[in-house]
Structure 1
């Protein structure tokens, strides 16, 4: 009898030990490496308009060197090739972000491309369509993106309309000079997009509309910011419509005289996350724009992450002959090793990104 009891206890002990070991092994397998987490924080542009000509980028996606790509005009020839291209990326990496700038009007990648419908500008939408009609139009826009495999749209622009703005107002990219109207039309845009599985990205936080300079080419400074311009963000966060927000390379002097919004803890962690209570994904505007030319690549990357940013956007696949994702990943790994970036900040960003990816239909 004693031998039977001893054998039983031994069997139970071994079973329990195996359960613990299996659970530990499963947890180890689920937990990604630091490099894999960092990769999800990188979105790159690339060359090629079909799986063959974009072979290098597709291969890098398969090995999870980055977590997203941005489609530019050079990547689009026609619907067939674009659909095959996006399908190749999705087969290479489950959940990969495939992003585009499709605002309507002058900001579209589909102009003069065969088989694509184009849409009127945000300014014209607000002038000529009521909210219901705007929702229908943006539903068609989102469906076209969904049909060709795009799952992230860098729109709507929620900057206030000012005709003196060289890059926003003068190009009809903003809905209205009335910030309440901006908020209402932006809401229709986001609801129509996200109902079809396309994440809408509000931009350019905290506000580029009343800025006359162009942050693509120059340093942009706002001396007296009207905080009323934040209303579309406040409304969207409150209604749980804001999933991803793009932060611009804009100096908001009342908050941070040293760093632009995209690199500023006072703007991202303080204003956007702290005061507006946004806990979604923060993406930078293109990190290669002239608005950040005063900073080295290392400074841009470290500051953006420490400020509370999640995804870094780079329009070029290579920087100085090196693959952008490889270069940026190594910079971040070294910065974590040198205690310049807390590892917890990487983990936090990774969790936000994967949560959003898992929500895409």
Structure 2
């Protein structure tokens, strides 16, 4: 198994993609808007991936946070509220706000279950700081670490009820970044005390099955390398101080925060301590390069993957999914209206 998660070029697999998948057996795949047209098409695509790999519990990822980060959109799928809505509800009534979040995220996850998607890249556990770049903004569960942790736990609970694996991100925290790591490399100069506040939600949810790194330099921890490529940050902060022992994936290697050939970056990330690299754009040259440069996934990585995917289970019939989702949305709306 190759410790890489690949993006795909379009709505169906190309012959080149099929050949590569058969030859290198990537750990998983991630879908974007370019891969999504209709429920039937997405289901055919995920079925093709599972058939090619021979893995029914294949990690197929998506970014479906709600709000402005959504790959499944109307008219085929309903819109979901941003995370911040639940922080506002929680502030008024913690019990009902949390319950509404569980209902919402279980209902959201059922969209994925129906399509054969097993992993959702959420929750965002970043704690936005005043003056930071708005790339996080309302994707976060507010600005209080305790609330972010509580509602992040509610999200993971809802996902797990549906049989979908969650990914906490962007560990060890993107909330203080003054730049969008899609466009540039952010450098955080905050003190250790401030960073300890930022990592609190990650510590609270260190039992999560998967996590995604931040392409950010934290001067207090490592002045030279961003977290994704820093052995010190991964060993001492993510695995050590935070205590995360699940499957650790990079954010997309193709983001402008990183500089260099994709295969080289992938090798550096694994050497730093990441379990798996994320290569989202579906460029055949990059995927072939990673296949040539990366070693086989070691037993520790495969064990973490196996443990994470125990959350996944075979989906119920489509009619049952639709009925359950409608009930959950009604419960969510009733709870939100009662606050």
- Please report the TM-score for the alignment, with normalisation by the length of structure 1: 0.78
Deviation of 1:62 after TM superposition, in Å, equals 3.8
**Alignment partner, residue 17 of structure 1:** none
Alignment of 1:240-251 (within 5 A): 240=207, 242-251=208-217
Moved more, 251-260 or 275-284: 275-284
Report the CA distance shift for 1:167/1:219 in structure 2 as closer, same or farther (over 3 A). same
CA contact (8 A) 2:32 2:71 kept: yes
Q: Distance in 2 between matches of 1:262 and 1:310?
A: 11
**Alignment partner, residue 118 of structure 1:** 79
**Alignment partner, residue 331 of structure 1:** 293
Q: Distance in 2 between matches of 1:108 and 1:298?
A: 28
Deviations 1:126-164 (A, max 9, x none): 213610011101110011111111111111101113464
User: Stretches of 4+ moved more than 6 A in 1?
Assistant: none
Q: Does 1:280 align with 2:246?
A: yes
**Alignment partner, residue 119 of structure 2:** 152
Find the residue that maps to 1:202 and give its secondary structure: strand
Deviation of 1:298 after TM superposition, in Å, equals 4.7
| Greater RCO structure (CA 8 Å; 6+ sep) | 2
Deviation of 1:329 after TM superposition, in Å, equals 2.3
Unaligned runs of 5+ residues in structure 1 are 1-35, 334-342
Report the CA distance shift for 1:54/1:190 in structure 2 as closer, same or farther (over 3 A). farther
Report the CA distance shift for 1:325/1:351 in structure 2 as closer, same or farther (over 3 A). farther
Question: Which has the higher Rg, Structure 1 or Structure 2?
Answer: 1
In structure 2, which of residues 283, 300, 303 is the aligned counterpart of residue 351 of structure 1? 303
Q: Does 1:45 align with 2:14?
A: no
RMSD: 2.0
Alignment of 1:269-308 (within 5 A): 269-293=235-259, 295-308=260-273
Deviations 1:18-76 (A, max 9, x none): xxxxxxxxxxxxxxxxxx3xx1x1111112224xx545434533444312111000100
Find the residue that maps to 2:85 and give its secondary structure: helix
Unaligned runs of 5+ residues in structure 2 are 91-96, 314-339
Alignment of 1:254-273 (within 5 A): 254-273=220-239
